[in-house]
Amino acid sequence: MATRVRPSSKRCAVIGGSGFLGRHLVEKLVDRGYTVSVFDIRQSYELPGVTFHQGDLCDKQALLPAMKDVSLVFHCASPAPASDDRRLFERVNIEGTRTVIQACNEAGVQKLVLTSSASVVFEGTDVKNGGEDLPYAKKPIDYYTQTKIQQEKLVLEAFDEGKGLLTVAIRPHGIFGPRDPQLVPILVDSARKGKMRFIIGDGTNVVDFTFVENVVHGHILAAERLRPDSPICGKPYHITNDEPVRFWDFMSEVLVGLGYAAPRYHLPYAVVYGLALLLWLLALILRPLVSFKPTFTPMRVALAGTHHYYSCERAKRDLGYKPL
């Protein structure tokens, strides 16, 4: 009878490994002696020792070769929040994640680490030092958040000792660092268009921005602590800098550092949120005729005008996490 060879614990796959977080994760894994396969819909770089598999994660047959002899899978692929395309989010984050789980089970993968998001509990109102026990948002503000919630539930519920699949979810918030494709680019683009003169609300709201290397560190700790008897199986973990900052101070520092003026004039939060909602509706109605993407989406305005910072005490306790 043929015996199944147990894959090496240092062989892993990174789904979404061509992206911002994914590439940082791949680079750190290679440094730590892992053999890495990247699976992504695009290839954005080359790295010695890393094998690239190009394909759509909704296609199980395309995924399986990237998972051959792999014991650990990181799933950090998602459409960009800015795309605001309901069907795309549902297809990739929900149906695609189901496919990833099936492929992991078929390929005999032992551990699956999902990159979720702290925004799965954010409903547009203040979250102060939020723990992982907060309920999922009942009224998620956008399709991105709505489908990230479903995705996280799928992965955590897939934890099944019987089948041998151990799962965990990492919830970062507002990732920044080299090659960030959204935070600084959106900010700079808005500043160039003269849209960053205003502070939404009173400007004192405190939030988490998380350095990408801390997020990578949290993922690797979780992967290495994921064992059948570990308390982390089937659980989500917030990973932050453990250093919440004022949203508008952070924005101002980045803008001034890049040679733009800091926002100065205050606008009432409720008015800007209402306008953003109106613009979003207008863009939705006019979509068949004209396509325009408002800079100030309801989600961005909510993030810019409320407190949203999270406790990483559970990660410190269970993962031995400490910001780098």
Ligand X SMILES: CC(C)CCC[C@@H](C)[C@H]1CC[C@H]2C3=C(CC[C@]12C)[C@@]1(C)CCC(=O)C[C@@H]1CC3
Binding site for ligand X (CB under 6 A): 81, 117, 119, 173-174, 182-183, 186-187, 190, 295-296, 300, 303-304
The alpha-helical segments, DSSP class H, found in 82-174 are 86-89, 97-107, 143-157
Identity (one letter) of the amino acid at 122? F
Residue 295 binds: one of ligand NAI, ligand X, none (C-beta under 5 to 8 A by kind) = ligand X
DSSP 161: T
Choosing from 12, 38, 40, 303, the residue that interacts with ligand NAI (CB under 6 A) is 40
Q: Which of 34, 136, 143, 144 is catalytic?
A: 144
Q: Which of 7, 13, 14, 16 binds ligand NAI (CB under 6 A)?
A: 16
- Closest distance to ligand NAI from the beta carbon of 74 (Å): 10
- Give the C-alpha separation, 41 to 77, whole Å: 9
Rounded Cα distance between 22 and 238, Å, is 18
Minimum Å distance from CB 104 to ligand X? 23
Dist. CA 233–CA 226, nearest whole Å: 6
| Structural contact between residues 93 and 148, judged by C-beta atoms closer than 8 angstroms | yes
Does residue 92 touch ligand NAI according to CB under 6 A?
A: yes
Q: How far is the CB of 310 from ligand NAI (least distance, A)?
A: 11
The answer to whether 79 contacts ligand NAI (rule: CB under 6 A) is yes
- CA dist 179 and 292 (Å) reads 26
218 binds ligand NAI (CB under 6 A): no
**124, 172, 244, 305: which one binds ligand NAI (CB under 6 A):** 172
Instruction: Give the residue carrying structure tokens 């010695």.
Output: 48
Tell me if 41 contacts ligand NAI by CB under 6 A: yes
Catalytic, 269? Answer no
Q: Which of 130, 174, 177, 244 binds ligand NAI (CB under 6 A)?
A: 174
- Whichever of 142 and 166 has its CB closer to ligand X, that residue is 142
Judge whether 44 and 23 are in contact, CB under 8 Å: yes
115 binds, among ligand NAI, ligand X, none (CB under 5 to 8 A by kind): ligand NAI
Dist. CA 43–CA 40, nearest whole Å? 7
Tell me which of ligand X, ligand NAI, none is bound by residue 83, counting a contact when its beta carbon lies within the kind-specific cut-off of 5 to 8 angstroms. none
Binding string to ligand NAI for residues 48 to 77, with x set by CB under 6 A, is what? --------xxx-----------------xx
| Residue whose CB is less far from ligand X, 4 or 193 | 193
- Residue 245 has φ and ψ, to the nearest 5°, of -130, 165
19 binds ligand NAI (CB under 6 A): yes
When the beta carbons of 4 and 42 are compared against ligand NAI, the nearer one is: 42
Q: Among candidates 238, 224, 242, 241, which has minimal Cα distance to 113?
A: 224
Q: Which of 42, 30, 111, 130 is nearest to 72 (CA)?
A: 111
The nearer residue to ligand X, 121 or 220, going by C-beta atoms, is 121
Nearest to 209 by CA among 83, 128, 308: 308
- Determine the straight-line distance between the first and last CA of the chain, rounded to whole angstroms: 48
Unique residue bearing structure tokens 């909510």? 302
H-type alpha helices, 78-236: 86-89, 97-107, 143-157, 183-192, 212-225
Q: Which window, 37-45, 130-138, 198-206, 310-318, contacts ligand NAI (CB under 6 A)?
A: 37-45
Q: Take residue 121 and report the two structure tokens written for it.
A: 């509990």
Hey, which residues does 232 pair with through a beta bridge? none
Min. distance of Cβ 185 from ligand NAI in angstroms? Answer: 11
Enumerate the active-site residues.
Answer: 144
Residues that bind ligand NAI (CB under 6 A): 16, 18-22, 40-42, 56-58, 76-80, 92, 96, 115, 117, 148, 172-175, 181-182
